Structure formats: C-alpha cells, structure tokens
Amino acid sequence: MPRLRGALRDPAGCGSCLGAALALLLLLLPAGCPVGAQNDTEPIVLEGKCLVVCDSSPSADGAVTSSLGISVRSGSAKVAFSATRSTNHEPSEMSNRTMTIYFDQVLVNIGNHFDLASSIFVAPRKGIYSFSFHVVKVYNRQTIQVSLMQNGYPVISAFAGDQDVTREAASNGVLLLMEREDKVHLKLERGNLMGGWKYSTFSGFLVFPL
C-alpha cells in the first residue's frame, strides 16, 4: 500500500467531510487494495499519522474508528524491551522482601514501557505480547524456581537445580493476552540468587494489538 503523504482535513470540523475524505482515500489506493472494516482482521495501517477523519472516535491504543467502521491505526506504535544484569549482584533488602528479580541495564526499550527501577513492564495497549527470560544462578547448590508474574499471579515458571554444575539457568517463554496497564515481572519463587545473576535477561514485545 503506498504511503499517503498529505492529510485530509476539514477546517470547520463538520461531519460532512467524512464521505469526501474516504472517497479520496479510496481513489488514492491502487486497484484491488483491500480496505479493512471493523470486523476485518486487518485495519488500514498507515506509516505515520497522515489521515484525519472527521466524525471519528479515537481509542486509547492510538487507532481511530470512524462512524462507517473504518479503523486507521498509526504504523509507528511499536513496543519492545530487553533488560539484563551487567554485574553479579546479591539480592538487596527489597529483593529479599518482594522476591522480584531486578535488572540494571536496558538494551532495548521501544516505547519506554519497561521501568528499570522496578523491573516491571506495563502494557500500553491491549494485545498479544511475547515474553522470555533467562535467569542465571551462580555457585548455588540449591534449586531455584522463577515465575513470570502477570498482575501478581504466576503464569509460567522455570526451574534450575542441578547439583553438579556451578552455573545454571532457568529459562522459559510465553505469549500472553494483556489488557492496557497490565503488569509483568519476574519473581524468585524458590531458592535464592546469592552469589550473582550476571547475564540474566528479560525480554518482551508486542506481537500485534487487539
């Protein structure tokens, strides 16, 4: 689909411009190019906010749905993060109290929805999200259990408990349906990470919005 570089605007803000705006939009599209409606799987996606439609109701996720059921969503709404432990670190007093696994370096934080201080990701919009984690325990001869928590409830867990290795990782991944402002973090359910957790990582991204 070609990019539409102009904007269709009605200075008077009247609802009568909707039909003309949509008609012009259809003329600019190549023949056979599908136009998504409310019930379609794929709405019209524009690379940038280049269409202004009168008589419309914007939603919290950045989409605009007109009274005719055509949804226009900004193509710039991208969400992704990846955080890591850059040093060995014995859990702080806060870690011992909440059992939250903290990270000290952000590698990627598109949209700034991962808070490094709390090591919590907050969903900016409803959608399907992908999460993965890789938590390393060092010189610790006891089993650890790490859970990915959604709004305070465990969703998936991973274990590391081999007594014959000095370094071992607990890893897992999942797809989650999340509502806007849902929260995700990692929790140490069992054992401890005394001795260090360098090279541990926690990552996630928006697969597609709903």
Q: Is the pLDDT score of 74 beyond 70?
A: no
Check which CATH number belongs to the domain holding 150 and give it. Answer: 2.60.120.40
User: Model confidence over 89-148: pLDDT tens digits?
Assistant: 666 655 667 788 889 899 999 999 999 999 999 999 999 999 999 988 776 667 888 999
72 located within any domain: no
Count of Cβ atoms closer than 10 Å to residue 60 Cβ:
10
Model confidence band, residue 178 (pLDDT cutoffs 50, 70, 90):
very high
157 located within any domain: yes
Cα dihedral 173, 174, 179, 180 sign: positive
At 111, is the secondary structure helix, strand, or coil?
coil
Higher-pLDDT residue of 189 and 25 is: 189
Q: Is the pLDDT score of 32 beyond 60?
A: no
Reported pTM:
0.64
Domain span at residue 177 reads 80-209
Q: Which range (84-93, 110-119, 181-190) has the least confidence?
A: 84-93
Can you tell me the distance from the alpha carbon of 69 to that of 82, in angstroms, rounded to the nearest whole number? Answer: 36
Q: Is the pLDDT score of 3 beyond 90?
A: no
Q: DSSP code of 19?
A: H
Domain count, the chain: 1
